[in-house]
Amino acid sequence: MSIDLAAIAASIPGLDLAAMDAARQRQTQLTKPPGSLGRLEDLAIAIAGMTGTERPRFEHAAVVVAAADHGIAARGVSAYPREVTRQMLRNFLAGGAAISALARNAGARVIVADFGVAGEAISHPDLVGARQGEGTHDFLDGPAMLVETALDAIAAGMAIVERERVAGLDVVCTGEMGIGNTTSAAALTAAFTGAPAATVTGHGTGVEGEAFAHKVRVVEDALTRHVEPGTTPIELLARLGGFEIAGLTGVILAAAANRVPVVLDGYITTAAALAAVAIAPGARNYLVASHRSVEPGHRAALTALGLVPLVDLGLRLGEGSGAAIALPVLRGALAAHNEMATFAEAGVSEA
């Protein structure tokens, strides 16, 4: 499938400044001291700009959990074997994962997509098939995937959003699963931000000691091999990324093109956001950072995107868990914005 990244980038609208001004004016009329709801007020105004609606609501929320395997996992960069990706995919489908519980609590549907889990394709009525292969190649042996494959994965991620929009999707949370993907995220973060490998590589699933030092060296070697002057964003994504990261890049691009706010989860989904914004800078306006992961590279990625996370709970699970935790906060910001009385309506004197 061929897609035109330049056309996609050009299709992303800017923030609706008129809607933001109207939302900002409404905030001044609500029965509270100005600024007393802190960032909740800022969030309501920002979401008005994203959606183009003075009084937006999040009634149809979804968490897209993109799963895929990574060839780099064979290098011993994870404390868990690659088979866990497939096992967790089944757990998502059975509703037994952390994201399953957190999404139910947040009132969001979980959309599970197989972008390239090793082994035969799993047959399940609730599984979205977006397979690009049985995991990426080991990026120390060559590119993780072809540029054409990365484009196909982006297109598959975009298609998920397009299908969900028919059902009324108005906010999308990003999640992922893939053993080895913190190594890929570290390589992408270093490549897109210029940060040293040692400062953006974390312990992931729990690698320690020499195993952790080895992981840092793997990322350093990948950067030496694949990052050179003139390398384009899509080439970096193909060389260092994962099928699920490319798929989430597509989710972000399609959401931004359709004025659907995107709630990022942790390190992996923020690496996808770095790729999406490098491809289409306008996508930055549609991002909300849910939390700050304990992965050190997440801070560098958030800083590069200019995003301030809503919470810091010491999370490092992934799956979309942080995004699902943040969703009720966002809904709370919109509830206060939409449902509070104005001074005139309540008959309350203004200061």
- Per residue in 273-282, pLDDT tens? 999 999 999 9
The CATH number of whichever domain residue 186 belongs to comes to 3.40.50.10210
If you average pLDDT over residues 59-70, what whole number do you get? Answer: 98
Report yes or no: 61 and 170 within 8 Å, Cβ to Cβ: yes
> How far is 272 from 213, CA to CA, in rounded Å?
25
Q: Per-residue pLDDT averaged across 207-236, rounded?
A: 95
Question: How far is residue 83's CA from residue 66's CA, in Å, rounded to a whole number?
Answer: 16
Both 117 and 131 in one domain: the answer is: yes
In a domain, 318, yes or no: yes
CA-CA distances (angstroms) from residue 6 to 10, 11, 12, 158, 339?
6, 9, 10, 15, 40
- CA 324 from chain centre, in angstroms, equals 12
Helices (H), 108-201: 147-166, 181-193, 197-200
Structural domain including 51 reads: 5-56+336-346
| Model confidence at 329: pLDDT above 70 | yes
When divided into structural domains, the chain yields a total of 2
Whole-model pTM: value is 0.97
Q: Are residues 323 and 340 in the same domain?
A: no
Examine the domain organization and report whether 123 and 266 are in the same domain. Answer: yes
Beta bridge mates, 128: 113
Residues 154, 299 within the same domain: yes
Q: Which residues are catalytic?
A: 319
Residue 351 lies in a domain: no
For 275-306, what is each residue's pLDDT tens digit? 999 999 999 999 999 999 999 999 999 999 99
Same domain, 218 and 161: yes
Instruction: Write down the pLDDT at residue 17.
Output: 98
Average pLDDT, the chain: 97
In this structure, the answer to whether residues 227 and 112 fall within a common structural domain is: yes
What CATH number has the domain bearing residue 26?
Answer: 1.10.1610.10
- 9: which 2 tokens? 């980038």
86-108 pLDDT tens trace? 999 999 999 999 999 999 999 99
In angstroms, what is the C-alpha Rg of the chain?
A: 20
What DSSP character marks residue 13? P
CB 18, CB 172: distance < 8 Å = no
The residue-averaged pLDDT of 125-135 equals: 97
Report pLDDT for 1.
60
Same domain, 117 and 177: yes
Asked whether residue 195 is domain-assigned, the answer is yes
CA–CA dist 295, 288 (Å, integer):
18
Whether residue 309 lies inside any domain: the answer is yes
Q: Please, which residues have CB within 8 angstroms of residue 322's CB and are 6 or more apart in sequence?
A: 265, 266, 290, 291, 293, 311, 313, 315
Mean pLDDT of 162-166: 95
Please list the alpha-helical segments (H only) found in 205-283. Answer: 209-226, 233-240, 243-257, 267-279
| Closest by CA position to 132, among listed 111, 112, 118 | 118
Are residues 134 and 32 part of one domain?
A: no
Which one-letter DSSP state was computed for residue 171?
Answer: E
Q: 119 and 76, same structural domain? A: yes
Does residue 200 register a pLDDT over 70? yes
Residues 181 and 306 in one domain: yes
Flag whether pLDDT at 2 surpasses 80: no
Are 130 and 213 in a shared domain? yes
Residue 171 and residue 122 share a domain: yes
Task: State mean pLDDT over 205-219.
Answer: 92
- Read off the pLDDT of each residue in 139-156 and give the average, rounded to a whole number: 98
Structure tokens belonging to residue 153: 């994965």
